[in-house]
Amino acid sequence: MSADLLFDLTTFVLAVLVGFEVISKVPATLHTPLMSGANSIHGVVIIGALLITSSAHGVFDYILAFVATAFAAANVIGGYAVTDRMLEMFKAKAAPPAPGRDDQTGDRG
């Protein structure tokens, strides 16, 4: 195993551990606003994954680059899905029709 690969794997493992520790300390009520605010940062993750792909030389490097790109894409899609779901909660709901009124003519029946 080359020194560069060992360094990259060590950095990856440490990033996963630190990321898990940081996210686990965030209260559940803040997860959605933090996700919506971080959608632009997820784009940087994809750029990083593409940079890994451009420097790949072997089969293992290509597999690692593919996994990194797939995770980054899932991160972006998930971030926007959560944001969309959060925004749906703030939309006004349609008021039900008043009782005793005909919906088509507006006359009382």
Question: Which residue did the predictor score with more confidence, 84 or 32?
Answer: 84
pTM: 0.50
Encoding tokens for residue 102?
Answer: 């005909």
Question: Which residue did the predictor score with more confidence, 27 or 12?
Answer: 12
pLDDT at 107 over 60: no
Helix (H, G, I), strand (E, B) or coil at 85: helix
Distances (CA, A) of 56 to 66, 83, 98, 108: 10, 33, 65, 74
Encoding tokens for residue 5?
Answer: 């690969």
pLDDT at 99 over 90: no
